[in-house]
C-alpha cells in the first residue's frame, strides 16, 4: 500500500552534509501495524516524515497505492495529507486558541466554505469515541497531555484517514495514559486502520505486527 | 467554522496585543481621515476666497468680427447691437446647470461706447454686488462705490484722461450722473472705463435685458472646469463659453498645495502604521511556527497558511479602517471648529466612504502582511514541529 525504495535524505548542519537516511526501503501493507524503533538520532522521525510526505527525500521512490508520490506536485500531497494520511506527534498537535471541537475539525477548515453540520456531528462522535465528548468546547490548554493526544486521534478518525503516522505518541505521557493511547491505537488498527508508529518503548513496539529497526539511517531488520 | 475562524480565534487569544495594534492603526487611519476632510474643507474655503479675485469663466455671444477689447475678449462697436446675451435667461441658465452648486458668482455686463466731450470712452454696465463679489481687490482711490442708480465709478486712467473728480456731474446719453468714486489702479481693463449700474445703462440704451458678456466664478475643486464649461455650453447653444485656464491653474495650484500637503503627511502615517502591522505579523510568524507545522501536517497548503496571515491582518485593517474613519470624521469637526472653518463647507459622512475606507485599509494591511505571510507559508513543517 505504501512503499519506499532506496530513500536517502541528507541534512546540512554547519555547512556539513549529514546523511540521515541511507537508501532505506520500507513496504507497508494495507491494515498493517508497523512500529519503527531505534536509538535517538537514528533517523526514525525523518523516515516517518518522508513516509507521511512531510519531508521530501533527496532521492528514492515513494509509492502510495498506484501513485508515485515523488512525482506529485505540492498541491496533491497536501490533499493526500488532508484525506488519507493522519499524523500524530509527541507534542504540538493542537492550536492552542481553537477549542477541542475546532481542533478536531481543523482539516476541514482550510477554505472559506463553512464546515458542514455533518462534519461537526462526525467530530463530536470522534470525540465521544476517545472519551472527550464533554470537553469539546474547552481550549487545549485545559487538557492533559493524554487528552490532547486523544484529540489528535479523534481528528484522524473524523478525516477517516487510511494511514496513521504516530511519532512517539506515548513519549510524553505517564505509563497509565500511554497505555490508554496504545489501547486506542490498537482498537483503530483492529478496525482496519494502517498504523505506522515510531516508539522508544519495546513493550509498545512489540504490540505491532512488525517492527522495523533503524540504526544510523539504515534499516537493520 | 472556516478558514477565517483560525485568525479570528488567534486575534481573540491576545486581546491586549490586538487592541494595541488596533489602537495604533485606528489612530493612523483617524488622522488620515481627519486630515483629508480638513484639507477638503480648507481647500474649498480657500478656493471660495480666491473666487473673489476674479472670474474664471467668460460667456459671450458667438461673434466673429470684433474690434474693441474689454475683459480679455473683443467687441465690435458696430456689431454689439446684434450680438448680445439676454441677461435673465442666460443667468438663469448658468444657475441651473447640474453643477450649479459650483457656481460662486455670475456677473453680467453690458459694454457700450460713448463720447464725453471729444473723448471716446467705454461705458460698462455692471451689477454692483456681483461685480464687487468677484473683484474684491477693487478699492475706491477717491470717494466711494456707487450706491444710487445715478452714480458712476470711473477707472483711474479714464478719470485722468477726462479730468474727472469725485462729485463731478457728467451727462451720458442725455442723463446726468455724478462720479461717486475713482477706482484705484487695477492694472486691468477696468482702469480705462466708466462703470455704471447695469439696469440704468440698459434703460438708457433702450436695450432692456441686454448684456455683452457674462463673467462666472466657478469653484473647480472636486470637478474639472471643463465639465462646468460643457454644461453651460449645453444650456446656451449660441454662445462662446471660455475657461480662463491660467486663472484656474493658479487657483487650483493653491488648493492642491493644501491637499498635497495633507496627502504626504497621510502617506507617512500610513507607511508607519503599515510597517507596524507588518512587523507585528513577522514576529507572530516566528511565534506560530508550530501552528504552521500542525496545519501543514493536516494538509494545509502554503497558500492557505498565507491566507490565514492575510485574513488576520486584513481583519485588523478593516476594523481599524472602520473605527478610524468614524473617529477621524468626528475629529475633523473638532479640527475645523478649532481652525474656525466650520462655516462654509462641512465634511459629509457617507456610508459608502466608510465601507470603502474599511476595504482600503484592509487591503493596505494585507499588503503589509504579504511578506510575513509569505515567510509563514514557507516555514518547513518538520523543523517547525521539531523545534520545542
Ligand atoms: N531539519 C533538520 N535539519 C538538520 N538536521 C536534522 C533535521 N532533522 C533531523 N536532523 C538530524 O537528523 C538526525 C536524525 O534525526 P531524527 O530523524 O529526528 O532522529 P530520531 O527521530 O530517530 O531521533 C539527527 O542527527 C538530527 O539531528
Ligand atoms: Mg524523533
Share of residues in chain A with pLDDT > 90 (%) = 67
DSSP reduced 3-state for B4? coil
Whether A11 is in the pocket of ligand 1, judged by its Cβ within 6 Å, is yes
User: Is 60 exceeded by the pLDDT of residue B265?
Assistant: yes
User: A193 forms bridges with which residues in the sheet?
Assistant: none
**Distances, alpha carbon B213 to alpha carbons B56, B59, B67, B88, in Å:** 13, 6, 15, 12
Question: For residue A122, what are the domain limits?
Answer: 95-160
- Find out whether A48 and A218 touch, Cβ atoms under 8 Å: no
What's the gap between Cα A14 and its chain centre? 29
Q: Same domain for A179 and A146?
A: no
Helix axes B351-377, B302-338, angle to 10 degrees: 140
The rounded Å distance from CA B291 to ligand 2 centre is 19
Average pLDDT over residues B3-25: 89
How large is the average pLDDT for residues A71-91? 89
Whether ligand 1 lies within 6 angstroms of the CB of A140 is answered as no
Nearest ligand (C-alpha, residue A47) = 1
Chain B residues with beta carbon closer than 8 angstroms to that of A152: none
Distance CA B195, CA B190 (A): 8
Instruction: State the smallest CA–CA distance between residue B255 and chain A in angstroms.
Output: 46
A104 alpha carbon to ligand 2 midpoint, in Å?
24
Residue ranges covered by each domain of chain B: 5-49+253-386, 56-65+81-243
In tens, the pLDDT along B81-104 reads 457 889 998 999 999 988 888 888
Specify if A89 maps to a domain. no
φ, ψ dihedrals at B368, nearest 5° = -65, -25
Q: Which residue of B has its CA nearest to A82?
A: B299
C-alpha cell at B67: 474690434
SS3 of B3, please? coil
Residue A43 Cβ inside 6 Å of ligand 1? The answer reads yes
Write out pLDDT tens, residues A5-16: 999 999 988 889
pLDDT class of B32 with cuts at 50, 70, 90: confident
Q: Does A16 touch chain B (CB under 8 A)?
A: no
Residue of B289, B296, B380, B383 with the most ligand 1 atoms within 8 Å of its CB, for mutation: B383
Mean of pLDDT over chain B: 85
Using an 8 Å Cβ cutoff, are B4 and B310 in contact?
Answer: no
- Under the banding of pLDDT at 50, 70 and 90, the label for residue B331 is confident
Three-state DSSP class for residue B67: coil
Q: CA nearest B306 in A: which residue?
A: A110
- Do A166 and A146 belong together in one domain? no
Local structure of residue B175 (DSSP, 8 states)? E
Task: List chain B residues with CB under 8 Å of A112.
Answer: 2-4
Given pLDDT bands bounded at 50, 70 and 90, which one contains residue B77?
Answer: very low
Q: Quick one: A99 and A124 in the same domain?
A: yes
- Calculate how close chain B gets to A93, using CA atoms only, in Å: 6
Share of chain B above pLDDT 90, in %: 35
Name the nearest CA neighbour of A64 among A84, A44, A34.
A84
B352 near B264, Cβ under 8 Å? Answer: no
Domain count of the fold of chain A: 2
Mean pLDDT of A38-66: 92
Average pLDDT of B181-193?
89
Beta-carbon separation of B386 and A79 below 8 A: no
Confidence of residue B338 (pLDDT cuts 50, 70, 90): confident
For the CA of B380, the nearest atom of ligand 1: 1
pLDDT tens-digit readout, A191-213 = 999 999 999 888 898 999 999 99
Give me the phi and psi of A31, to 5 degrees please. Answer: 80, 5
Q: What is the mean pLDDT of residues A143-147?
A: 90
Regarding whether A166 and A78 lie in a shared domain, the answer is yes
Q: Is A41 in the pocket of ligand 1 (CB under 6 A)?
A: yes
Residue indicated by cell numbers 502604521: B273
A140 and A102 share one domain: yes
Q: Is the domain of A1 the same as that of A75?
A: yes
- The secondary structure of A120-178 as a DSSP string is HHHHHHHHHHTT-GGGTTS-GGGS-HHHHHHHHHHHHHHTT-SEEEEESTTTTS-HHHH
CB distance B299–A120 less than 8 Å?
no
Please check whether residue A6 is in contact with residue A24, taking contact to mean a CB–CB distance below 8 angstroms. Answer: yes
pLDDT at B69: 61
Q: Is the dihedral of CA B34, B36, B38, B41 positive or negative?
A: negative
Band of the pLDDT at A23, cuts 50, 70, 90?
Answer: very high
Looking at the structure, tell me whether residues A80 and A167 fall in a common domain.
Answer: yes
With cell 463731478, the residue in question is B168
Of the given ranges (A85-94, B4-13, B23-32, B339-348), which has the lowest mean pLDDT?
B339-348
- pLDDT-derived band at A29 (thresholds 50, 70, 90) equals very high
Higher-scoring residue by pLDDT: B344, B129: B129
With a cut of 80, say whether residue A128 has pLDDT above it: yes
Claim to verify: residue A169 and residue A156 sit in the same structural domain? no
Task: Kindly identify which residue of chain B lies nearest to residue A108, measuring between CA atoms.
Answer: B2
Residue A117 lies in a domain: yes
Residue B274: what are its φ and ψ, rounded to 5°? -65, -40
Asked whether the predicted pLDDT for residue B306 surpasses 90, the reply is yes
B220 CA to chain A: closest CA distance, Å?
46
A102 vs B70: which has the higher pLDDT: A102
Element (H, E) at B246: helix B245-287
Instruction: Report strand pairing: A33-37 vs A194-198.
Output: parallel
Does the pLDDT of residue B179 top 70, yes or no?
Answer: yes
Which pLDDT band, with edges at 50, 70 and 90, does B345 fall under?
Answer: low
Which ipTM was obtained for this model?
Answer: 0.91
Taking 90 as the threshold, does the pLDDT of residue A33 lie above it?
Answer: yes
pLDDT digits (tens, 9 = 90+) for A159-187: 888 999 999 988 888 888 889 889 999 99
DSSP B73-99: EEE-TTTTTT--EEHHHHHHHHHTSTT
Q: How far apart are CA A193 and CA A185, in angstroms?
A: 9
Q: Which of A117, A133, A160 is the last residue of a domain?
A: A160
What pLDDT was estimated at residue B373?
94
Residue B78 has pLDDT above 60, yes or no: no
Which among B299, B386, B388 has CB closest to A78?
B299
By C-alpha distance, the chain A residue nearest B5 is A109
Do B9 and B65 contact (CB within 8 A), yes or no? Answer: no
The domain boundary residue, chosen from A144, A160, A176:
A160
How many angstroms separate the CA of residue A3 from the nearest CA in chain B? Answer: 20
Q: Is A76 on the interface with B (CB under 8 A)?
A: no
A67-68, strands of its sheet edge to edge: A16-28, A2-13, A59-64, A67-68
Q: What is the pLDDT of residues A55-67, one digit of tens each?
A: 999 999 999 998 8
pTM of the shown model:
0.71
Q: At B197, is the pLDDT very low, low, confident or very high (cuts 50, 70, 90)?
A: very high
Residues whose CB falls within 8 Å of the CB of residue B115, separated by 6 or more in sequence, listed in order: B121
Please check whether residue A166 touches B, CB under 8 A: no
| Same domain? A113 vs A175 | no
- Give the domain CATH number at A168: 3.40.50.300
In a domain, A90, yes or no: no
Contact present, B263 and B88 (Cβ < 8 Å): no
Distance from Cα A200 to the centre of ligand 2, integer Å: 9
Specify the pLDDT at position B66: 47
Do both A44 and A78 map to the same domain? yes
List, in sequence order, every residue forming a beta bridge with A215; answer none if it has no partner: A218
Closest CA to A87 of A142, A168, A204: A168
Using the mean position of ligand 2's atoms as its centre, give its distance from the Cα of residue A47 in Å.
9
For residues A66 and A174, state if they share a domain: yes
Q: Nearest by CB to B9, which of A81, A82, A98?
A: A98
Is A102 inside a domain boundary?
yes
What share of chain A has pLDDT > 70, as a percent?
100
Question: Which chain A residue lies closest to B11 (C-alpha atoms)?
Answer: A97
Q: Are B149 and B182 in contact (CB under 8 A)?
A: no
Amino acid at each position: 500500500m505504501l512503499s519506499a525504495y532506496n530513500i536517502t535524505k541528507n541534512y546540512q548542519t554547519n555547512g556539513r552534509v549529514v546523511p540521515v537516511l541511507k537508501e532505506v526501503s520500507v513496504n507497508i501493507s494495507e491494515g498493517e501495524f508497523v512500529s519503527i524503533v531505534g536509538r535517538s538520532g537514528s533517523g526514525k522521525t525523518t523516515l516517518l516524515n518522508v513516509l507521511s510526505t512531510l519531508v521530501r527525500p533527496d532521492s528514492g521512490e515513494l509509492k502510495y497505492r498506484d501513485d508515485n508520490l515523488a512525482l506529485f506536485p505540492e498541491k496533491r500531497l497536501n490533499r493526500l495529507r488532508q484525506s488519507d494520511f493522519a499524523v500524530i506527534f509527541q507534542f504540538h498537535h493542537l492550536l492552542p486558541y481553537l477549542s477541542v471541537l475546532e481542533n478536531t475539525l481543523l482539516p476541514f477548515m482550510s477554505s472559506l466554505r463553512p464546515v458542514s453540520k455533518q462534519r461537526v456531528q462526525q467530530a463530536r462522535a470522534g470525540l465521544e469515541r476517545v472519551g472527550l465528548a464533554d470537553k469539546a468546547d474547552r481550549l487545549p490548554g485545559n487538557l492533559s497531555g493524554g487528552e490532547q493526544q486523544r484529540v489528535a486521534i479523534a481528528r484522524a478518525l473524523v478525516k477517516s484517514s487510511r494511514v496513521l503516522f504516530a511519532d512517539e505518541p506515548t513519549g510524553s505521557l505517564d505509563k497509565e495514559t500511554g497505555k490508554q493511547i496504545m489501547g486506542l491505537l490498537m482498537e483503530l488498527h483492529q478496525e482496519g486502520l494502517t498504523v505506522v508508529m515510531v516508539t522508544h518503548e519495546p513493550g509498545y513496539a512489540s504490540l505491532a505486527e512488525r517492527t522495523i529497526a533503524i540504526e544510523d539511517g539504515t534499516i537493520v531488520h | 467554522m472556516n478558514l477565517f475562524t483560525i485568525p479570528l480565534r488567534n486575534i481573540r487569544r491576545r486581546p491586549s496585543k490586538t487592541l494595541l495594534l488596533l489602537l495604533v492603526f485606528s489612530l493612523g487611519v483617524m488622522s488620515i481621515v481627519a486630515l483629508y476632510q480638513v484639507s477638503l474643507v480648507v481647500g474649498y474655503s480657500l478656493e471660495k476666497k480666491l473666487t473673489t479675485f476674479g472670474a474664471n469663466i467668460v460667456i459671450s455671444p458667438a461673434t466673429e468680427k470684433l474690434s474693441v477689447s474689454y475683459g480679455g475678449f473683443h467687441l465690435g462697436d458696430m456689431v454689439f447691437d446684434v450680438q448680445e446675451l439676454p441677461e435673465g435667461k442666460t443667468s438663469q441658465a448658468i444657475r441651473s446647470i447640474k453643477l450649479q452648486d459650483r457656481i460662486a458668482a455670475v456677473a453680467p455686463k453690458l459694454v457700450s461706447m460713448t463720447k464725453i466731450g471729444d473723448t471716446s470712452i467705454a461705458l460698462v454696465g455692471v451689477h454692483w454686488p456681483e461685480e464687487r463679489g468677484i473683484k474684491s481687490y477693487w478699492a475706491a482711490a477717491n470717494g466711494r462705490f456707487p450706491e444710487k442708480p445715478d452714480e458712476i465709478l470711473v477707472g483711474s486712467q479714464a478719470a485722468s484722461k477726462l479730468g474727472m473728480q469725485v462729485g463731478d456731474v457728467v451727462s451720458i446719453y442725455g442723463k446726468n450722473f455724478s462720479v461717486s468714486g475713482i477706482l484705484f489702479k487695477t492694472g486691468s481693463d477696468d482702469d480705462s472705463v466708466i462703470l455704471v449700474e447695469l439696469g440704468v445703462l440698459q434703460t438708457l440704451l433702450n436695450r432692456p435685458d441686454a448684456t455683452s458678456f457674462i463673467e462666472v466664478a466657478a469653484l473647480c475643486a472636486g470637478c474639472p472646469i471643463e465639465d462646468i464649461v460643457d454644461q453651460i455650453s449645453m444650456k446656451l447653444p449660441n454662445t462662446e463659453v471660455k475657461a480662463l485656464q491660467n486663472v484656474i491653474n493658479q487657483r487650483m495650484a493653491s488648493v492642491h498645495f493644501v491637499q498635497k500637503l495633507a496627502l504626504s503627511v497621510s502617506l507617512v502615517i500610513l507607511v508607519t502604521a503599515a510597517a507596524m502591522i507588518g512587523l507585528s505579523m513577522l514576529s507572530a510568524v516566528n511565534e506560530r511556527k508550530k501552528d504552521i507545522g500542525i496545519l501543514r501536517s493536516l494538509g494545509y497548503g502554503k497558500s492557505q497558511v498565507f491566507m490565514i496571515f492575510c485574513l488576520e491582518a486584513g481583519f485588523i485593517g478593516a476594523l481599524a479602517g472602520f473605527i478610524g474613519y468614524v473617529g477621524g470624521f468626528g475629529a475633523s469637526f473638532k479640527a475645523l471648529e478649532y481652525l474656525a472653518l466650520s462655516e462654509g463647507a462641512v465634511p459629509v459622512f457617507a456610508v459608502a466612504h466608510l465601507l470603502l475606507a474599511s476595504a482600503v485599509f484592509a487591503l493596505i494591511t494585507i499588503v503589509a502582511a504579504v511578506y510575513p505571510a509569505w515567510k509563514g507559508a514557507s516555514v518547513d513543517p518538520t523543523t517547525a514541529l521539531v523545534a520545542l
